[in-house]
Amino acid sequence: MALTGCRPERGNGYDGHAFVANEEGSAVAAVNLTAFAVTRHIRIDGKPTKVISSPTRDAVFALAGNAIHEIDPSKLAFRRKSALPDRKSTR
């Protein structure tokens, strides 16, 4: 007896990572897009709400509270933190 499936052939994925804000875990998850699995949780000080990548530098930035955390996407590691000015003091 032969069995066949109707499912389309699975793709090979993409050689790279997606970075996802994990607010509850106080981390940024680096997801391997070839394996579709979390490679590393990168801990940061605070609860990240947004993540963006730089179009000109090898860097990923996570916004957490009043700080921006820079992540090295090659090493999947925290690089540095920069505090943002208090919104009340800039008015």
Give the pLDDT confidence of 37-70 residue by residue, as tens digits.
Answer: 999 999 999 999 999 999 999 999 999 999 999 9
Q: What's the whole-model pTM score? A: 0.79
C-alpha 31/C-alpha 54 separation (Å) is 18
**% of residues, the chain, pLDDT over 70:** 82
Within the chain, what is the greatest distance between any pair of CA atoms? 75
Own/partner contacts of 33-41, CB < 8 Å, gap of 24 or more, are: 39/76, 40/76
Residues 22-44 have a mean pLDDT of: 96
pLDDT above 50 for 1: no
- DSSP-derived letter for residue 89 is G
CA distances in angstroms from 37 to 8, 29, 41, 76, 77, listed in the order given: 21, 10, 11, 14, 17
